[in-house]
A = this chain, B = another copy of it.
Amino acid sequence: MTTQDQNQAEVQALLDRLIAAARRKDLAAVMACYAEDAVLFDLMPPLRITGATAYRKNWQAAFQMTEGPFGIELRDVAILASGDLACSHALQRVTAVSKENGEKIDFWLRQTVAFRKTADGWRIVHEHGSVPVDMTNDAALFDLKP
């Protein structure tokens, strides 16, 4: 296995760990995947979040808005790695049940992540999650499928 293959495998393992932690709504385990100084562009406002501590609120809100486990599935995952930097992009299906009205939530998100190799292993230093927008009426498109 080359260093690059090894790094890609380690980054894939971190993504797997993040998703497993999100599924069981384990906020501490989710946050352990992020570098303290990470910069986040989340699906929910604000425009830009600086620091994992501030980002914790968004994950907490996502868990609290939903009933039972939080379904996450990745598709079309690509991982680029070189030296101590890696970048991934993937489509992410989110399935859950709304706590407010019991309705089924099921949509595809685009997810881009940047990672740095630290003394403690790989950490997420940047994450960007979004859905596209219908520019004719400014509606976020939650019904698109890959």
Q: Are A135 and B44 in contact (CB under 8 A)?
A: yes
For A112, the chain B residues whose CB sits under 8 A away are 41, 112, 114, 126, 128
Q: Are B130 and A87 in contact (CB under 8 A)?
A: no
Closest chain B residue to A62 by CB distance? B135
The smallest C-beta distance from A122 to any residue of chain B, in angstroms, reads 12
The smallest C-beta distance from A33 to any residue of chain B, in angstroms, reads 17
Number of A positions contacting B (CB below 8 A): 44
Is residue A138 within 8 Å, beta carbon to beta carbon, of the partner chain? yes
Point out the residue from B44, B65, B89, B126 that lies within 8 Å of A89, measured CB to CB: B126
Is residue A13 within 8 Å, beta carbon to beta carbon, of the partner chain? no
Q: Are B81 and A144 in contact (CB under 8 A)?
A: no
Point out the residue from B87, B133, B145 that lies within 8 Å of A131, measured CB to CB: B133
Q: Are A139 and B139 in contact (CB under 8 A)?
A: yes
Q: Are B80 and A125 in contact (CB under 8 A)?
A: yes
Q: Taking the full assembly, how many copies of this chain does it contain?
A: 2
Is residue A82 within 8 Å, beta carbon to beta carbon, of the partner chain? yes
A110-140 to B contact mask, C-beta < 8 Å, 1/0:
1010101000000001101011111100111
Q: Are B114 and A48 in contact (CB under 8 A)?
A: no
Q: Are A132 and B42 in contact (CB under 8 A)?
A: yes
Give the contacts of A57-102 with B (CB-CB under 8 A): 65, 76, 78, 80-87, 89, 91
Give the contacts of A18-72 with B (CB-CB under 8 A): 39, 41-48, 65
Closest chain B residue to A85 by CB distance? B82
